[in-house]
Amino acid sequence: MIDVVTKTLELVAEEYKTFTESITKKVIICAGTGCIASGALEVFAAFKAEIEAQGLDVIVDLHKEKDHDKEHVHLSESGCQGFCAMGPLVNIYPDKVLYVKVTPADVKEIVETTLMRHGVVERLLYKNPATGEVNRNQEEIPFYKRQKRIVLGECGYVDPEDIEEYISHGGYYAARKAYVDMTDLEVCQTILASGLRGRGGGGFPTGKKWEFARVENNEKKYVICNGDEGDPGAFMDRSLMEGNPHRVLEGMMIAAKGIGADEAYVYVRLEYPLAVKRMKLAIEDAMEAGILGENIFGTGKTLHIHVMEGAGAFVCGEETALMSSIEGKRGMPSPKPPFPAKCGLYGKPTIINNVETLAAVPLILRNGADWFRENGTATSAGTKTFALTGHVANTGLIEVPFGTTLREIVYNIGGGVTDNAGNVTGEGFKAVQIGGPSGGCLTEAELDLPLDYDNLIKVGAMVGSGGLVVMNKQTCMVQIARFFMEFTQNESCGKCVPCREGTKQMLSILDSIIDGSAQEQTLDLLQETGEVIKMASLCGLGKTAPSPVLSTMEKFRDEYELHIINKICPTNNCKALAVITIDADLCIGCTACARKCPVQAISGEKKQLHTIDPLICIKCGICASVCKFNAVIGF
């Protein structure tokens, strides 16, 4: 293992490059959680066996002795490469070939065609569903080509379990600069000048938060990396911890230098076992190398980092609840002020940043504050990662500059909206839920809105941690609101009455709308309850819990009214409010149903197909009972 106490980072990087001199091919298999679930580890094993069977020298560990007179194939794992819809993914260099949806059965053909003959297995290349165009590599695929992968730049390329490969890409240079060449004040001022804002949801200026802690006169201070990513459909922080854990550690080191901390915690939820494993391994390797621990870079400074595994409570994403959990208490929020920067973990000054925020910090120190501001908007500098999920062709992990429009994300990067069967329709976009249970929805009216912190707040939404759930026109917005309300109601810690009881009441009201028992005054009651919860709750979970409901009520009020007044679910997803229809193949036009309908909701000529007007129909069931041909459906 390397030792930066006796070697410089430059020497380590140079020695690493000598390890790669005899490598003629590099095969990188995505080993993020998504691809592993799709069989990536089996693909890795198949590659190793097949390369050996073909008589080629396969190298899995670059640091083991090898014959430099021979040519070798380097087989490695990476973190999430982002294109989750197409996993498992296999990248081959220097050919620059990306194969998608690879199975162990495909490996023999890949080895024989690409590794041995420099050819391409065309059936495994990405085919654009909209144009039919076949793309050879990431540079050609719109999903990658239209992104700006800065924070994710090395995630999906470097081996997350190889500290020397990270150093060879400039890793820990920024940390050394912070400890050796900069004062605490200069570190904080640089981050403030960059315009970096917290990527965990609130968007508070990171440099300002650090400065609050820096000026506190206390010998003991803490840094906490908040990896408790609990939003449904969000996996940005998990992917960064899995794919580039040393970048996260380096950001924590710089934060510690900036505020004068000597101890830090990475708080990761238990449901992220791979992230926990790789963060722990990264800390061990950095300790063994002398990068962490005592006398960092010969400065006499100390930093010890611990991994704390949370039990998965959503409320522990809130700062004060997270600190209570680390202290061994039940994860429940506390009133602020005092803020953590003044009185945090164990009563000491503490800064808490999420994973993505800290992962951006080394890049800022390495390239400068002005470089970071080259992307983004005037008030939201840099890029933002999003987990793109739902009814969209290209689901996955993306990174775009702030100011990118929703249209660009959904239609160009995402490849378009899909129907419930997964087919790209070209049309059919209904909404996007952004910011998870704390956020709001965006509609067609906001498709061209530049996404940044301030613009989203203006339209009743928020960046949040970065979840983007795309919904097509077959989606019931009342059910979506209920889904998020049920989530937050289950995750409420119960400490304050507005959140504990209010979310329960909102969930009950939404149930009444879905089952058809709601009255006209129900909407006013739902609105009033949501506003009270926002105003009176103790922590951020309660204050934002009503947001998805209030947002959908504002932008899809007609859909709520159809549920309540007309007892109709326009998407036919609510069983109790399903639209009653007549099957065209079974109806013979006998007129029995029309003659018996008490509200004249059925029309049609004799011996012709009859239809039911859903706005008039009272769902009494008489039509179904008199139809001898079972043509009335929906009951």
The predicted-structure confidence for 143-163, as pLDDT tens digits, reads as follows: 999 999 999 989 989 999 999
Tokens of 121: 């297995």
Q: Which CATH number fits domain 579-633: 3.30.2010.30, 3.30.420.40, 3.40.50.10680, 3.30.70.20?
A: 3.30.70.20
515-532 tens-digit pLDDT: 999 998 999 999 999 999
Distance CA(622)–CA(635), nearest Å, equals 11
Among candidate residues 307, 292, 545, the one with its CA nearest the CA of residue 440:
545
Whether pLDDT at 435 is above 90: no
Whether pLDDT at 115 is above 70: yes
6-49 tens-digit pLDDT: 578 988 888 888 877 778 889 999 999 999 999 999 999 999 99
Q: Which CATH number fits domain 478-564: 1.10.340.30, 1.20.1440.230, 1.10.1060.10, 3.40.50.720?
A: 1.20.1440.230
Whether pLDDT at 430 is above 90: yes
Q: Name the residue with tokens 């009133």.
A: 335
Residue 3 banded pLDDT, cuts 50, 70, 90: low
Task: Please answer whether residues 253 and 301 qualify as being in contact, where contact means their C-beta atoms are separated by less than 8 angstroms.
Answer: no
43-93 tens-digit pLDDT: 999 999 999 898 888 888 766 655 555 668 899 999 999 999 999 999 999
Per-residue pLDDT at 313: 84
In order, the DSSP letters of 269-308 are ETT-HHHHHHHHHHHHHHHHTTSSBSSGGGSS--BEEEEE
Distance CA(169)–CA(104), nearest Å, equals 31
Tokens of 52: 């050996």
In the chain, where are the structural domains located? 19-138, 163-371, 383-475, 478-564, 579-633
Cα separation of the two ends of the chain: 69
Over residues 251-263, the mean pLDDT reads 98
What is the separation of C-alpha 56 from the centre of its chain, rounded to a whole number of angstroms?
A: 39
Per-residue pLDDT at 112: 93
Strand partners, 194: none
Per-residue pLDDT at 121: 96
Longest dimension (CA), the chain: 95
Q: What percent of the chain has pLDDT over 90?
A: 73
Please indicate whether residue 31 or residue 132 has the higher confidence score (pLDDT). 31
Whether pLDDT at 479 is above 90: yes
What is the separation of C-alpha 622 from the centre of its chain, rounded to a whole number of angstroms?
A: 49
Per-residue pLDDT at 464: 80
Per-residue pLDDT at 493: 87
Distance CA(125)–CA(140), nearest Å, equals 11
Tokens of 214: 């820096």
Sheet containing strand 429-434, strands side by side: 396-401, 383-390, 467-472, 429-434, 440-443
CATH number of 383-475: 3.10.20.600
Over residues 594-607, the mean pLDDT reads 93
Note the pTM of the prediction, 2 decimals: 0.89
Q: What's the sign of the alpha-carbon dihedral 484, 490, 495, 499? A: positive
CB count, 10 Å around CB of 45?
13
CB count, 10 Å around CB of 198?
19
Whether pLDDT at 536 is above 80: yes
Residue 311 banded pLDDT, cuts 50, 70, 90: confident
- Return the DSSP state at 57: E
Strand partners, 173: none
Residue 338 banded pLDDT, cuts 50, 70, 90: very high
Distance CA(572)–CA(615), nearest Å, equals 14
Residue 174 banded pLDDT, cuts 50, 70, 90: very high
Q: Strand 90-93 vs strand 97-99: parallel, antiparallel, or unpaired? A: antiparallel
What is the homologous superfamily of the domain 19-138 according to CATH?
A: Glutaredoxin (3.40.30.10)
Span 163-371 CATH architecture: 3-Layer(aba) Sandwich (3.40)
Per-residue pLDDT at 245: 97
